[in-house]
Amino acid sequence: MSLFDGRSTPHRSDTAAMVTARRRVHASGLFDSVAGIVAGIVEHALTPAAPGVVFDAGAGTGHYLAATLDRVDSARGIGVDLSKYCARAIARSHPRAAAVVADLWRPLPIASGSVGAILSIFSPRNVTEFARVLDPAGVLVVVTPNPDHLTEIIEPMGMLAVGADKDERLAATLAEDFETVGEQVLREQHMLGRDAITDLVAMGPSAFHRSADEIAADADALTGGGTEDIAVSLSISVTTATPRRS
């Protein structure tokens, strides 16, 4: 379902090639640990007092939403993304997942207080709208990269680095409407070859500025036909809504 109203947006949506690369990365199991952690958080937090709806904001391929729905049998999922290619992947990711094409920076096409859990994983955070759609008994789970995430390939692959003030910016963004009640850091090392590194770059915003051939050539030069030891380093925050200040 698409809810675009004809107005233009300054944001770029993922292409079919980017979605294909992301699906290969997820199929490789590289981010299975974070998917399991997020699913476990929602499983324990989604009490009978909260609606059984999980909203994945900027859901991508629906990988994390599907993992959560697999864990929580009673839940239904809604994945919103700007990309129609992502929406198709979300709709196919799980029998209880629905997909909507919409801009996260505009009013969300979700009823107030109707969501029991929100997932914001490597995605923009429209905090005001999150606070509106989340039930008072619900949780917002935010996953963000740490400064050492993929650090071994950031410079040689021409990727954007994570800012050192990431934690402060996240806290400032959430402070008005949410309270952090739990946080954990996930750090893993993975041996990745040329194709896996190519897909990691090709699935993200770097793919808007570089050709597939350029990305593959840099990955080939980096690995030399072998593998590289790559860090996956993420912060997972669990927050609950706080009453709006009058």
Q: Is residue 200 part of a domain?
A: no
CATH, residue 121: 3.40.50.150
130 is in an annotated binding site: no
Q: Copy the structure tokens of residue 115.
A: 């969501």
Between 174 and 143, residue with greater pLDDT: 143
Taking only the tens place, the pLDDT of each residue in 126-138 is 999 999 999 999 9
68 is in an annotated binding site: no
> In this model, does residue 245 exceed pLDDT 50?
no
Q: Is residue 3 part of a domain?
A: no
Q: Is residue 226 part of a domain?
A: no
Q: Is residue 119 part of a domain?
A: yes
Q: Average pLDDT, stretch 25-51? A: 94
Q: Average pLDDT, stretch 218-233? A: 95
Say what the pLDDT of residue 227 is.
96
| Domain count along the chain | 1
- Angstrom CA distances, 12 to 8, 52, 84, 136, 152, stand at 11, 31, 12, 32, 27
Q: Average pLDDT, stretch 158-165? A: 78
Say what the pLDDT of residue 6 is.
47
Q: Average pLDDT, stretch 70-76? A: 95
> In this model, does residue 10 exceed pLDDT 60?
no
One-letter amino acid of 231: A
Q: The dihedral of CA 61, 63, 69, 75: what is its sign?
A: negative
Half-sphere CA count of 138, side-chain side, radius 13 A: 25
The C-alpha angle with vertex 51 and arms to 106 and 33, in degrees rounded to 5, equals 80
Q: Is residue 116 part of a domain?
A: yes
Confidence of residue 242 (pLDDT cuts 50, 70, 90): confident
H or E stretch at 55: strand 53-57
> In this model, does residue 110 exceed pLDDT 60?
yes
Burial tier of 162 (Cβ tally within 10 Å: 0-12, 13-18, 19+) = middle
149 is in an annotated binding site: yes
> In this model, does residue 45 exceed pLDDT 80?
yes
Phi-psi region of 119 (alpha: psi -120 to 50; beta: other; left: phi over 0): beta
Q: Is residue 208 part of a domain?
A: no
**Separation between Cα atoms, residue 79 and residue 86, nearest integer Å:** 9
Q: Is residue 151 part of a domain?
A: yes
Q: Is residue 1 part of a domain?
A: no
> In this model, does residue 196 exceed pLDDT 50?
yes
Q: What mean pLDDT value characterizes the chain?
A: 91
61 is in an annotated binding site: yes
Count of beta carbons in the 10 Å neighbourhood of residue 172: 10
Q: Does residue 78 sit in helix, strand or coil?
A: strand
Q: Average pLDDT, stretch 140-152? A: 95
Q: Does residue 40 sit in helix, strand or coil?
A: helix
Between 9 and 37, residue with greater pLDDT: 37
**Separation between Cα atoms, residue 218 and residue 185, nearest integer Å:** 30
Phi-psi region of 75 (alpha: psi -120 to 50; beta: other; left: phi over 0): beta
- Residue 45 sits in which domain range? 16-189+233-241
Q: Average pLDDT, stretch 117-142? A: 95
